[in-house]
Structure 1
């Protein structure tokens, strides 16, 4: 029986992809193998995000790649998901950047912005000439965005924003922030360019997770914006929640990439690590671990692909995204931790990725909806009763 060299393909997942989707997957993987994988352990150790890669990601068409027009690639949802998978196979920080840039910042403008806002920002964001972030979460408002305190009031023809946002990926890098605020007309979104008086960012330090990513606090102190800064089509929580649903879709693919990288590492290590006169891959307990993880990984990959095909047909529902995000991130963390045990003491070294992936996935498990919130979304779908209200 031949050795399975790609644990992701135990169930022949690749056979379900189109030639174009496989080409995109291969192109992204090869680029990252050359430009990111050799350096990612150092970026994580130094808590540094490789900003120099941003224009290159733009040239590859990865920024807002599932959006149409304005310099965006307009690919299928499955292709976007596969790109997220390959990005997170290297590090969650890279996938987080692309998710926030495309599915939060750019999508908020593409879906809810004016034509003038789209023309001003989307081509630059797609090319990686500008960076965006998404300001929704606050220090006291995470899973309950409706309780946000940031507010905007009219002053003549302008809007004046006051408040703070927390745990904002790309915040310290962003040229423009989509900021959600409470108004007399409900929750509205505003585009806040860097350099606007009263708008400042402070990066979060001493992180134990997502270290190769910039996480920031946003402060808005009397930030004055023209009326044209408001996203005209978004009113209420439907605006920001639609953006989060886009980002969660990328996550459910990305988690598969992190898990795949861990399992590939464990398989290679188990085949070369010799104990008691033979490779540890020859022992029953190790094979059970590998088999269980391969089953979990491949079912997660099939779930992601199925949801991607639903999205491409315009049939994907929010609760289905919750199923994918909840399951795939949970399984990816379990796989990362189990792979670390196969590596033994070497598993705590930065030379090997499983523990880095496990640490990153702790953040992924929390953002864009915690396990608890997604569980309750599914529970409401099953029972018709909203337990979180």
Structure 2
């Protein structure tokens, strides 16, 4: 409705402007009123067309032109041309639209002139100015054809933009879906491994309780991951807590043990005795480190290997190192690591690494990667240290 109102307003102004600067050719008055009339009618519909027809009659009356009743009788029947064209106009190709608009514009002009001049008995004005009249019709035809072309071009451009935005939204949705599935697979794989371990005969009650605890914590982590992705649309304040890094590294190594066993990989953990704290989100830290560790294990899955996880304090930062002796990466691969849909794995999406890097950086962490093809990769992740006793 607003669109049609704007068309009525805009083209009424255009009609009034065109009628206020006519050209007089030996008693016959020409102007370009038919151009905004036809264009507005074709893109606004029958109701806009009726409004513009009425606007022309009102403006003509206000300008003090004679024989207004006769003009109405000669002019109003030409709306039939517009009604006939409107039925097929939207389905036409651009060239057909331009030609049809030119034909209707000229037809409206000629028919209204012929009826009007015949009614007032001055048909000689039309026949005496055929060459001049033809020139105005040609100029009018060129103007309306260019007008239609520009409108169609703009509409096509707008539609392309809308399609691009829609396609981008769908791409983001698909990326998010793939990323969620990737992130949830990690805790579910760990739970599966511990459930299988709980089926071992004559398992000690302490180990059974430990496996149950880890499984429940991993399921809780899966729930937190889902909540994090759901919160992207409606962000909530980040959880900020004091994290004892020694406990977290031990937890991550225990989770990765089950994945390592499947891939014939050994895990070595080196820790300093000092208590080291950082400030951040415990669950996001675990999610990030487990994902990086899992990728490192999978890089060694063909021939086995050793995953080394280290923790130390250096000046005012806490350093976590995750080193493998897997396939390694080139400098180009390192530079692209953490971008969507780049992965060194055959079926990887790269989204898990992207999310992990984002979560680490959100906690003011830094990531440094060194790698050599055929020898392995080392991730060095550092966080600002929180002074002891705070």
TM-score (norm 1): 0.24
Query: Rg: which structure is higher?
Result: 2
Asked which structure has the greater RCO (Cα within 8 Å, sep 6+), the reply is: 1
Would you tell me which structure has more helix in proportion to its own residues? Answer: 2
TM-score (norm 2): 0.24
